[in-house]
Each structure stands twice: as structure tokens, then as C-alpha cells.
């Protein structure tokens, strides 16, 4: 970089081209017998001062090698004559992370698999994806691998296109000198606020590896709970779908075949049979209308859950629903205790932790209760006193919080409460599953039996006529 830049020697190959304007092409310099590309860079330091210069080199990192050894970090780097903000293969900074460039195949794959994020479609990562990401990240950081190299490895081995694209961007931002917390916050529409705040706190407090471990455990527990509920309700869902399909098949295909027989024999058809035959004819003739109406109903029902009094009514119904309210309440309490304990154990302040917990409760009634708890603490009440004033929190949570405050181990006792509620959820799910399965089988048998009876009654009359 200390060498003087000069134009390449005039040869037959480039004769007549020296006076051309290089504005639309990459500028080439001839230094020490080598042809080098000319790069423009903008760099800054921790004192918020910036420098802008042009340098020469065969590759981008070779051109700014001396600069990287100083206290400056690169903000922008592009070839002279290129356009700012455009991706130019290996010469673009996001394509080079941790001193290694992304291969051409990886860049092409990233473009082809890039997901279009629409404003009305959620793009947040699922619990399983967050669990795997945090566990792998925590393992690599705990093994002594730098954050930048860990992100690079995660980006290469992640199969989900959206997550792969985001991790590459995280690595590029870290290499530019941004903190990891700021890098994650730039993708707040994908990563949950809980995760972003914990990473910022862990990075500032120098306990980043411990925070990652807590996040990994948190999402593992949450995923296990979701899987238990999902697996326990799988068979009842299958039975319900089977009942619906069997009823539709019998109404549309089976009953119409008997309707002609009954009409030709002039049999006095019972009201139940008439109603079912008519239902089958209407369903067969207007099935597309019913399908469209069902889609519209599902759409508006989903939208109504986010609208004012309807949303509050829906959340209140979930809390008071017979047979299921105990399961739902314990799931909310497990989420509250696990999340609050994870945040407090990672160094997040109590009021900030309650603010974040309020946003992830998933029920407006419960979220309002958490908000009132935070307000009570602001007015000088203890955590136990604030929790005791809300009906949604049982005495075991209040007592554990009181002991935790006195001993200074509030996060540990919240984890113990979360373990208790999660075990209660598993027990209730198993019990409900054992109750629902025979009940659904009886309902299925009753519905199919009624349809069969509507066919058999007219058949008996035919036999009597014969």
C-alpha cells in the first residue's frame, strides 16, 4: 500500500484506451509489475471518526490489510467504479466473513432460495429452529470458537434458507464492528425480543456463553412442552378428521344411491332420512361454496382474535373453558416462570424482564396481569405481594417468589416452579388424552350409527311390503 500508484505501461493491447473514461468499469492499477484493482473504503473507529480513501490490492481484504491491523473497522468497501450497496461477488463485504469468502455456489443458492417476506405473513422462527440455533451457537462459543467463526459455521451448516441468509448478515455486521446485540436487533422481526435482550445483556456483562446456554435450555424446555401437548392431541385430531370425512362420504356417495330405491318403491321415508338425503344433495351441489365459506370464516375468526373485545372474550374463554382451563392456565404459568427466571438469571433487570414476559404470554388477560404486577413493583411492593394481588397466579408461585426474594435466588425458585407446572401439564395432557379417545370413539360410532339407521329404517319397510 505504500507503493506509488501508476498507470499500466502502454502496450499494443491497450494502445488507444488510456484516454477513455473509467467511470463505468473497474479501475486497474499497475504496481510492482502486478495489475491490482482499486478499491474505495469508508472506515470508522470507536470515537465515531471516519476516514474515506482509495487503496489498491488483488483482493478486498488484501487492500485493507493494514487498516484492519489498526483501530479502525470497515463500514463500506467496494471496487472503484462499482456502485455502493450492490453485491459484487467476492468483492462485496457480506460475501466475505471471517477472512473466508462464500463460494460461488453458496451465493447462487442464497439468491435462488431467498425467501420473500410479506408484511401480512409471519416470518418468526419456530421454537425448534431457535432451540437448535441456540444450542449449536452455545456449544461452539463454549468450546472457544470466536463469535464470528461460530456464525460462519452456523451459516454454512444451516439448511433453512431464511435463517442461513440472516446468519450471514449477522456475521457481516459483526465483522463491520457492530455488537452482536445490535446485529440481532436488526432482525427483530425474526428473532424474539426475549432473545435479543438477553444477548445484549450477556454481551455487555461478559457472560455471553452463559446466556446462550440459558437460551438453549429455555427453548429446549419450551419445545418439549409443545411436543407433549401436540403428541397428546394428535390422536383426537385424527379421530375428529376421520369422523368428518366419513360423514361427508356417506352423505355425498352412499345415501344418494339409496334415495332412488326408496323413491321407486314409494316408501314412506322417515324425517331423519329425508334430512340426511337433502343435506347430501346440497353438499354435493354446492361443495365449492361451503369450502369458500369455511375459508372466509377461518380467516375472519383469526383476525377477530386480534380485535378489541372479541380478542379479550376469546382469551377469557380459554382461561375458563371447561375441562381445558386447568391445562391452559398451567401452560401459561410454566411459560411465565421459565421466561422470567431465564431473564433474571441472565442479568436482565426485574422490570425489563416483566415487560418482556408480558409480550410473550400469548394471552391478553394474563399479559395485563403481568403488567399490573410490574406496576405494583414500581410503587414499592415486593414481587410476592404484587403476584398475590392477581388471581391468575396461584399460591405456590407467590410463596416461591417470596422465598426467592428473601434468599436472593428468585431465578432458581422460578425454574423450580416452571419444572412443577411443566410436569403438571404432562400429567393433565395424558389424563385428557385417555378421557378424550374413548369419548370421541363413542361420538364417531353414534354419528355413523345414526346415518346407518336412517338407511335401515326404510329398508325394513321395504321388507315388510315384500
In this prediction, residue 73 carries a pLDDT of: 52
User: For residue 386, what pLDDT is reported?
Assistant: 93
In this prediction, residue 387 carries a pLDDT of 93
Compute the C-alpha angle 237/239/245, nearest 5°: 105
Q: Residue 347 CB: number of other CB atoms within 10 A?
A: 16
More confident residue, 48 or 28: 48
pLDDT at position 163 is 87
**Percent of the chain's residues with pLDDT above 90:** 15
Q: Residue 337 above 90 pLDDT?
A: yes
> Where is mean pLDDT largest: 109-113, 314-318, 359-363, 379-383?
379-383
- Identify the pLDDT of residue 48: 54
pLDDT at 31 over 50: no
First vs last C-alpha separation in the chain: 109
Task: For residue 77, name the pLDDT band (cuts at 50, 70, 90).
Answer: low
418 to 9, 125, 132, 223, 349: CA distances (angstroms): 75, 23, 21, 14, 20
pLDDT at res. 307? 74
**Per-residue pLDDT at 374 exceeds 70:** yes
% of the chain with per-residue pLDDT over 70: 73
- 348, 354 in Cβ contact below 8 A? no
Q: Once rounded to an integer, what is the mean pLDDT over residues 353-375?
A: 90
Span 231-466 CATH architecture: Up-down Bundle (1.20)
Lowest mean pLDDT among 211-215, 264-268, 278-282, 430-434: 264-268
User: What per-residue confidence (pLDDT) applies to 302?
Assistant: 78
The residue ranges of every structural domain in the chain are 1-86, 231-466
376: pLDDT strictly greater than 90: yes
Pick from 86-95, 373-382, 434-443: least confident: 86-95
Kindly write down the DSSP assignment for every residue of 30-86, as one continuous string. Answer: EETTEEEEEEEEEEE-TTS-EEEEEEEESSHHHHTHHHHTTT-EEEEEEETTS-TT-
**Mean pLDDT, the chain, as a whole number?**
76
pLDDT of the residue at 462: 74
Residues 6+ apart with CB under 8 A from 6: 29, 30, 31
Q: Are 407 and 393 in contact (CB under 8 A)?
A: no
Supply the pLDDT for residue 47.
52
Give the residue from 307, 128, 116 showing the smallest Cα distance to 222.
Answer: 128
Per-residue pLDDT tens digits for 144-200: 888 889 999 998 888 888 888 899 999 999 988 888 888 998 888 888 888 888 888
pLDDT-wise least confident of 6-15, 119-128, 400-409: 6-15
Least confident of 70-84, 103-117, 159-173, 242-256: 103-117
Looking at residue 116, what is its pLDDT? 40
Count Cα neighbours of 61 within 13 Å in the Cβ-side half-sphere: 12
Q: What is the pLDDT of residues 291-321, one digit of tens each?
A: 899 889 888 887 777 777 778 888 888 888 8
What are the tens digits of pLDDT across the range 11-25? 434 444 444 333 333
Q: Which has more pLDDT, 158 or 84? A: 158
C-alpha cell at 355: 415487560
pLDDT at 263: 76
Q: What's the pLDDT at 85? A: 37
The pLDDT value given to residue 369: 93
In 164-312, beta strands by DSSP E: none
Amino acid at each position: 500500500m505504500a507503493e506509488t500508484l501508476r498507470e499500466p505501461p502502454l502496450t499494443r493491447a491497450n494502445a488507444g484506451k488510456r484516454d477513455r473514461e473509467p467511470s463505468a468499469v473497474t479501475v486497474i492499477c499497475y504496481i510492482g509489475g502486478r495489475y491490482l484493482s482499486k478499491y474505495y473504503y469508508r472506515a470508522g473507529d470507536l470515537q465515531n471518526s471516519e476516514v474515506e480513501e482509495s487503496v489498491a490490492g488483488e483482493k478486498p481484504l488484501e487492500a485493507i490489510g493494514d487498516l484492519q491491523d489498526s483501530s479502525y473497522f470497515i463500514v463500506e468497501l467496494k471496487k472503484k467504479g462499482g456502485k455502493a450497496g450492490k453485491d459484487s461477488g467476492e468483492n462485496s463485504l457480506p460475501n466475505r466473513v471471517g477472512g473466508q469468502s462464500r463460494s460461488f455456489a453458496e451465493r447462487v443458492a442464497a439468491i435462488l432460495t431467498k425467501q420473500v417476506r410479506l408484511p401480512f405473513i409471519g416470518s418468526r422462527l419456530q421454537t425448534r429452529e431457535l432451540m437448535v440455533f441456540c444450542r449449536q451457537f452455545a456449544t461452539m462459543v463454549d468450546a472457544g470458537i470466536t463469535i464470528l467463526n461460530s456464525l460462519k459455521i452456523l451459516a454454512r451448516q444451516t439448511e433453512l434458507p431464511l435463517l442461513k441468509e440472516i446468519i450471514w448478515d449477522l456475521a457481516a455486521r459483526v465483522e463491520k464492528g457492530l455488537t452482536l446485540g445490535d446485529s440481532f436487533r436488526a432482525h427483530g422481526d425474526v428473532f424474539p425480543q426475549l432473545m435479543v435482550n438477553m444477548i445484549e445483556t450477556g454481551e455487555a456483562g461478559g457472560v455471553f456463553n452463559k446466556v446462550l446456554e440459558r437460551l438453549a435450555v429455555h427453548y429446549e424446555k419450551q419445545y418439549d412442552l409443545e411436543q407433549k401437548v401436540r403428541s397428546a392431541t394428535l390422536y383426537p385430531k385424527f379421530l375428529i378428521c376421520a369422523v368428518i370425512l366419513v360423514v361427508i362420504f356417506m352423505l355425498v356417495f352412499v345415501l344418494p344411491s339409496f334415495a332412488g330405491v326408496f323413491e321407486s318403491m314409494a316408501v314412506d321415508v322417515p324425517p331423519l332420512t329425508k334430512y340426511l338425503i337433502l343435506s347430501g344433495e346440497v353438499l354435493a351441489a354446492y361443495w365449492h361454496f361451503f369450502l369458500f365459506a369455511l375459508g372466509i370464516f377461518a380467516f375472519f375468526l383469526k383476525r377477530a382474535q386480534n380485535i378489541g373485545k372479541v380478542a379479550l372474550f376469546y382469551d377469557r374463554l380459554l382461561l375458563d373453558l371447561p375441562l381445558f382451563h386447568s391445562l391452559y392456565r398451567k401452560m401459561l404459568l410454566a411459560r411465565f416462570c421459565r421466561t422470567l427466571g431465564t431473564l433474571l438469571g441472565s442479568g436482565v433487570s426485574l422490570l425489563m424482564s416483566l415487560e418482556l414476559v408480558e409480550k410473550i404470554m400469548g394471552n391478553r388477560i394474563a399479559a395485563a396481569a403481568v403488567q399490573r404486577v410490574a406496576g405494583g413493583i414500581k410503587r414499592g411492593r415486593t414481587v410476592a405481594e404484587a403476584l398475590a394481588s392477581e388471581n391468575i397466579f396461584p399460591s405456590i408461585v407467590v410463596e416461591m417468589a417470596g422465598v426467592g426474594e428473601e434468599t436472593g435466588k428468585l431465578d432458581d425458585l422460578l425454574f423450580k416452579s416452571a419444572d412443577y407446572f411443566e410436569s403438571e401439564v404432562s400429567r393433565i395432557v395424558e389424563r385428557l388424552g385417555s378421557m378424550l379417545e374413548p369419548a370421541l370413539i363413542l361420538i364417531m360410532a353414534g354419528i355413523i350409527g345414526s346415518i346407518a339407521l336412517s338407511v335401515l329404517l326404510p329398508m325394513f319397510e321395504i321388507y315388510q311390503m315384500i
